[in-house]
Structure 1
Amino acid sequence: MKKITLVLDGVADRPNAALGNKTPLEYAKTPNLDALYAKALGGTVLTIPDGLEVGSAVANLSLLGFDPHTYRGRSIIEAAGLHLPMNEEDLYIRCNLVTFEGDSFETSRIKSYSAYDIATEVAEPVAKELAAKVFDDEFQLVYCGSFRCTLIVKNGKTLYPVDFMPAHDIIGQDIAPFIRTEGKQAKFFELMKRSYDFLQKKNIPANGMWMWGASIMPEIKGDTRGRVALSETLLMDGITTIAGLTNIGTRREGRSFDDFLKEKLEKAVKAVEEYDDIYVHIQETDDLSHELQPIEKMRAVESIDRVFLGEFLKNIGDDFTLSVASDHFTFSDTGAHGGEPVPFLFYDSRHEKKQTGRFTEQSGRDKKYTITAAELKDMQRQAETQR
């Protein structure tokens, strides 16, 4: 029996004026998802345990069935996805090339956390020059593609934890309240300011850098036999690399979302033929929230339903369970994450249910049935033993 999980990253949202005060899930036309929901168990699932970082790393660790408390920050996971050298004594920090507005670093606001998803061919030569002229062997900056860089602090483990506000959580806000000029964070903000001064002279969308996601080596363990993940982010590449979980990647850059989904569909159908436990992760809805594009996010939901989900369901074949969930909330009016329980459905092809509603945030709340991510994973295992 096949066990399938479909995660729509950051699809859960709150009502937005641009969509008639509906969420993207509520506004979107999703006939395939609606039909599936009518035969499934619905409710909400807690993917972010209390006290842990609200974001995709913790949430996807939870939904994958790994212990999210092993999480030690984001950057080293992405570094693992890039197969950068891993050293347990080093500190790893994610660095975004960003677009600031303002007259100086100290008085700036972040307009785009990704420098408008800057193209690799534009960013790479400038980022490598930045690494050579502003950073050094102790604070080594490694370019990772598009707007992403990793800072490796040699023998910096003792500095952990170092707290930074993620760029996507402070879009449009003054950065002054988040700048630290004393203590162990002071050196990092000095490097951010020097990067700002350097990038002001370059004619590219990225005119600054913002650090976040400071991390040290985690220990991600679990049974990965017969399992596969299908993803398209460095974060998921890193989680699967550290866990020893097979990962089949699909890259979005440079083509339409529909074309991307068609390739994702082809790989997902093949994965069902070859593996018993399939984890499909789709990132687009989260990215569009961070870019404050609720209408485009709604259209992405419709594309997932039309291009991917309907055809995928037709091609599974064997008896299966299918869990569908958002990993966390991502608000398309602010770009920030939210950690409240997210909507989920659990479908068992051998034991269909009858329920009303659609796969939306409010419908999930209305069920008044909240479980943990571990309990959702247990449902898959228990269904496998039932006849």
Structure 2
Amino acid sequence: MKKITLVLDGVADRPNAALDGKTPLEYAKTPNLDALYRKALGGTVLTIPEGLEVGSAVANLSLLGFDPYTYRGRSIIEAAGLHLPMNEDDLYIRCNLVTFEGDSFETSRIKSYSAYDIATEVAEPVVRALAEEVFGGEFQLIYCGSFRCTLIVKNGKRLYPVDFMPAHDIIGQDIAPFIRTEGKQAKFFDLMKKSYDFLQEKAIPANGMWMWGASVMPEIKGDTRGRVALSETLLMDGITTIAGLPNIGTKREGRTFEDFLEEKLEKAIGAVREYEDIYVHIQETDDLSHELQPVEKMEAVEAIDRVFLKDFLKNIGEDYTLSVASDHFTFSDTGAHGGEPVPFLFYDSRNEREQDGRFTEQSGRDKQYTITAAELKAMQKQAETER
């Protein structure tokens, strides 16, 4: 029996005025997802245990069946996905090229957390110059494509943890309350200010840098036999690299979302034929939330249902279980994450159920049935033993 998990990153949301007071899931036309939901078990699943970072790293570790408490920050996971040098004594920090608005660094607001998805060919030469001009010594700035950079602090593990607010969580807000001028964080904000001053003279969409996701080496362990992931993000590349889990990537950049989904569908069907446990992760809905685009997010949900899910279900070809969930909430009105339990469905092709409703946030809450991600994973194993 095949065990399949489909994660729609950040698809869970709250009502938005641009969608007549509905969430993207509520507004979208999703006949295939809704038909599946009516034959499945529904409710909500807690993907982020209390006290842990609210975001895709912890949530996907949980849904993959790995221990989320092994998480030690995001940047080193992405560095692993890029196959950068890994050193247990170093500190790794994610750096975003951003677009600020304001008259100075201290009085700025973040207008775009990705410098409007700055093109690699535009950003790379500038970042290389920035690395030489501003960074050095214990600080090594590495360009990672588009708006992403990694800062490696040599022998910096002693500084962990270092708390920063993610750029995508403070879009449109004054950064002044988040700046620290004393203690171990002060040196990093000084580097951000120097980067801001350097980038003011460059005619590119990025006029500053924002650090977040400080991390040290985690230990992600679990049985990966017969398993595979299909994803397209550095984060998922890193998780699977550290865990030793095979990962089949699909790149979104430079083409339409529907073209991307067609390739994702082909690879997912191939994975079902080769592997027993298949984890499919789709990122687009989260990205559109961070860009404050609720209508486009709704359209992406419809495309996933129409282009991917419809034909994927037709081509599984044998008994299977399918879990569908958001990994966390991502609010398309603010771009921030939410850690409350997310909607899920659990479908067993040999044990179809009957329930009313659609796959939405409120339908999940209405079931008044909340489980943990570990319990959702256990459902798959139990269904397999009962065959």
Q: Look up the equivalent residue of 2:374 and give its one-letter code.
A: A
Alignment of 1:43-192 (within 5 A): 43-192=43-192
- For 1:306, the aligned partner's letter is R
Q: Aligned runs of 1:352-371 on 2, under 5 Å? A: 352-371=352-371
Q: Deviations over 1:155-208 (max 9, x none)?
A: 000000000000000000000000000100000000000000011111111110
Partner of residue 249, structure 1: 249
The 1-side partners of 2:73 and 2:141 are apart by 17
C-alpha separation in 2, matches of 1:305 and 1:132: 47
Q: Which residue of 2 aligns with 1:224?
A: 224
Does the residue aligned with 2:347 lie in a helix, a strand or coil? strand
Per-residue deviation at 1:132? 1.1
Letter in 2 for 1:204: I
Partner amino acid for 1:77? I
Q: Tell me how far apart the structure 1 counterparts of residues 303 and 214 of structure 2 sit (CA, whole Å).
A: 35
Q: Secondary structure at the match of 1:145?
A: coil
Q: Deviations over 1:76-120 (max 9, x none)?
A: 000000000000000000000000000000000001100111111
Letter in 2 for 1:73: G
| Aligned twin of 2:214 | 214
Match of 1:36 in 2: 36
RMSD: 0.4
What is the DSSP-based 3-state SS (H/G/I as helix, E as strand, rest coil) of the residue aligned with 2:162?
Answer: coil
Distance 1:373 1:296 in 2: 28
Shift of residue 286, structure 1, vs aligned partner: 0.2
The AA in structure 2 aligned to 1:158 is: R
Which residue of structure 2 aligns with residue 277 of structure 1?
277
Give the aligned partner of residue 303 of structure 2.
303
**1:121 is aligned with what amino acid?**
E
Equivalents in 2 of 1:226, 1:129: separation in Å?
45
Distance 1:59 1:105 in 2: 33
Task: Tell me if 1:351 matches 2:348.
Answer: no
| Structure 2 CA distance for aligned equivalents of residues 80 and 117 of structure 1 | 22
Give, in angstroms, the shift of residue 122 of structure 1. 1.0
> Which sections of structure 2, spanning at least 5 residues, go unmatched?
none
Secondary structure of the equivalent of 2:144? strand
- What amino acid does structure 2 have at the position aligned with 1:247? N
1:10 has 2:19 as partner: no
TM-score (norm 1): 1.00
Corresponding position of 2:380: 380
SS of equivalent to 1:230: strand
Tell me by how many angstroms 1:121 deviates.
1.1
Give the Cα–Cα distance (whole angstroms) in 1 for the partners of residues 132 and 175 of structure 2. Answer: 26
Give the match for residue 332 of structure 1.
Answer: 332
Moved more, 372-381 or 197-206: 197-206
Alignment partners' CA distance in 2, 1:65 and 1:2: 16
Q: What is the match of residue 265 of structure 2? A: 265
Q: Whole-Å Cα distance in 2 between the matches of residues 170 and 59 of structure 1?
A: 21
SS at match of 2:79: helix
Cα deviation 1:350-384 (Å, max 9, x = unaligned): 00000000000000000000000000000000000
- Count of residue pairs brought into register by the alignment: 387
d(CA) in 1 for partners of 2:95, 2:209: 6
- Distance across 2 between alignment mates of 1:287 and 1:379: 30
Instruction: Provide the rounded CA distance (Å) in 1 between the counterparts of 2:62 and 2:290.
Output: 22
Specify the alignment match of 2:20 in structure 1: 20
Letter in 2 for 1:370: T
Q: Does 1:294 align with 2:264?
A: no
Question: For residues 90 and 386 of structure 1, what CA distance do their matches in structure 2 show?
Answer: 47
Amino acid at match of 1:22: K
For residues 35 and 250 of structure 1, the distance between their equivalents in structure 2, rounded to whole angstroms, comes to 27
The code of the aligned residue for 1:126 comes to: V
Distance in 2 (CA, whole Å) between partners of 1:3 and 1:125 is 45
SS at match of 1:53: coil
> Structure 1: which amino acid aligns with 2:284?
E
Residue identity in the other structure for 1:70: T
Code of the aligned partner of 1:54: V
How far is 1:250 from its partner?
0.5
Using the alignment, how far apart are the partners of 1:62 and 1:264 within structure 2?
A: 23
Alpha-carbon distance between aligned partners in 2 of 1:123 and 1:187, rounded to the nearest angstrom: 24
Letter matched to residue 278 of structure 1:
I
Q: d(CA) in 1 for partners of 2:314 and 2:132?
A: 52
SS at match of 2:346: strand
1:204 aligns with 2:204: yes
* Residue identity opposite 1:224 in structure 2: T
Unaligned runs of 5+ in 1: none
Following superposition, the deviation at residue 137 of structure 1 comes to 3.3
Letter in 2 for 1:166: P
Moved more, 123-132 or 269-278: 123-132
Task: Output the CA distance in 1 between the equivalents of 2:134 and 2:36.
Answer: 53
